[in-house]
Every structure is written in structure tokens, then in C-alpha cells.
Structure 1
Amino acid sequence: MLNLAKQWGWTGNDTETHLGKLLKQIIDESDPKLPFGYIKLDEVASRAKINSPPLRTMMSALNKEGYAVSRSHIASNAIKTNCPMAVCIRIAKELQQC
């Protein structure tokens, strides 16, 4: 879809347009390692009883631990990951201490 959108002039040569960003995000979300649904970082923070960690920081920490992770196109403060919620909570707590 992204290639067709570029061919039809709906996006620029890069993916910086709104449509291009959306399509890139959907491509990232289609990783077969990722389950259906998403996790809001506010929910992780609530369960961990901390402030919500920055999205990119949390994604980076999950990647470093070997989990697949992507932003969700559904909610701006949500991720898709194959990481269990309990581990997400632990990682968020560790990030809060840094």
C-alpha cells in the first residue's frame, strides 16, 4: 500500500506525510510476532503505580530485552508487544528509577 501511495502521489518520496506515517505504522504493526490488541502505557503505569514512561524509552527497553514491539495506530500512547504485562510493569518500574 505504501508503494502504491507513493506511485499515485499520495505521499512524498519519504514517509513524512500523515498517510505515509500511518501506512508505515501499520506495516510495523503487522509483524507476525505481535499479538492482536495493544497496551496503553497509562495502564502499565497505573498498575506499576508510577508515572507513564515515555513511549520511545519503553519501546527501546522492550527491544533490548528481546521482545517485539511497535507503536499502535489506534492510540497515541499505546504499543503492541509480545511482552507479558507483568514484565512490562517491571520494565516500567526500572525505567522510573533511572
Structure 2
Amino acid sequence: MKKLILSAIVLLGAVSMTNASTVSQEVKVTTISVQTEYTEVTADAVPAAVKTALQTAYPGAKLDKAFVNEKKEYKLEISVGDQKATVYSDVNGNWLKI
């Protein structure tokens, strides 16, 4: 009886070792393109809500260039004094983190 139990234990150990060595991991990589294409627009084409948000957040800022994408998100190149920055806003003047 001891030999039968010992054989069963050895057999189970061998099977579990075989299963452990054949386990592999599958890695899936998903790429999401965050950058969208922006088209340059004139300062007059920028909605009033975006201009108001710009002046509220950055008093005295000058809008150098404005761009818009198909989602109506605005990329604004601004200058405040001698510093330049690029900020992003939605059509309602809410700031976006890009």
C-alpha cells in the first residue's frame, strides 16, 4: 500500500512539473495614437469661450497661433512677456491635459 501511495505522489509530482514547464504567457500590446492632426485657424475662428478662458488663466497672454482638430479641441500657441507656451482647450474653454 505504501508503494501505491508513493507511486501516486511521484506521478502527481511529475505531472505538475510537466504542466508548470509548459505554461507560457501571452502578452498583448495595444497602441493608441494620442496625437491628432490640428489645422491652423485664424484667431477670429477661436470661440469666445476659449479666448475668455485664456485671458482668465493667463492675463496679458498674446495668442500667436491657433489650431483645431476634428474633435473641436484647440491647440493654442501663446506668449506671455518673453515666455512662450502651448496650451490645449476644448470648444467650451476647459483646459485639456495632453
TM-score, normalising length from structure 1?
0.23
More strand by share: 2
- Rg larger in structure: 2
TM-score, normalising length from structure 2?
0.23
Higher relative contact order (CA 8 A, sep 6+): 1
More helix by share: 1
